[in-house]
Structure 1
Amino acid sequence: MRVHGLYDELNRARHGRTWQPHDFVLGFVGDVGDLAKLTQAADGVRPAPPGNGLGHELADCLWSVVVIAELYGIDLEAAFTTTMRQLEESITGDLGKGTTR
């Protein structure tokens, strides 16, 4: 959130306003697009774009998710733990039934 605060200062100085939560979501979508291009490049589907690498874009995406969760008051650790438990139970149940999707 320290970097978020720095971005607030920079955006206020440059544009006279800070980003709203939806702006961070739009930024995240852009980061996911960059990530998609880099994974295609890593898999040999397209030429590597100039700029940062896959690790950088993954970190950008993770940072965006953390900031968005904070801005919307989501306990991300608790949500992640609950979601992973639910997925594990669902997948385990399907495996026990011999069900495939």
Structure 2
Amino acid sequence: MQERARSVRERYAEVEAASYGRSWTSEEIMLGFLGDVGDLAKLVQGKAGVRPREDLDEALAHELADCLWSVMTLADAYDVDLAGAFTGTMDELDRVLSGD
């Protein structure tokens, strides 16, 4: 998944450079992620019946994937081993939840 996210990011960077004369910074990618999280929040409200729409399940899946892509892209930008960090964090949470 990380390789695919990286490939898509590289293609976006090319489009951005052609359109804006430069690719987005990590800060701009983070701002885009915040927008995606806001969209995700609205879809979660939809699942709770507050903001219903016909394509809710598809839109929710799409937005979750968008958010995951942003996290993976930011991890790549900052040289974070996301798989390792996830494993370590889950191990830590397991210890806390086990009372160790």
- Find the residue that maps to 1:53 and give its secondary structure: helix
User: What residue is the counterpart of 2:50 in the other structure?
Assistant: 45
TM-score using structure 1 length: 0.86
12, 15, 21: which is aligned to 2:17?
Answer: 12
21, 36, 41: which is aligned to 1:36?
Answer: 41
Percent identity, aligned pairs only, is 50
- Following TM superposition, by how much is the alpha carbon of 1:49 offset from its aligned partner in structure 2, in angstroms? 9.1
Indicate whether 1:70 and 2:76 are aligned: yes
| Structure that is richer in helix per residue | 2
- Paired residues, what number? 94
Letter in 1 for 2:66: D
Rg larger in structure:
1
- Higher RCO (CA < 8 A, seq sep 6+): 2
Q: Deviations over 1:14-62 (max 9, x none)?
A: 1111011111111111111000001101210124398960000000000
Structure 1, unmatched stretches of 5+, are 95-101
Structure 2, unmatched stretches of 5+, are 1-5
User: What residue is the counterpart of 2:8 in the other structure?
Assistant: 3
Query: What is the RMSD of the two structures over their aligned residues, measured on CA atoms?
Result: 1.9
User: What residue is the counterpart of 1:98 in the other structure?
Assistant: none
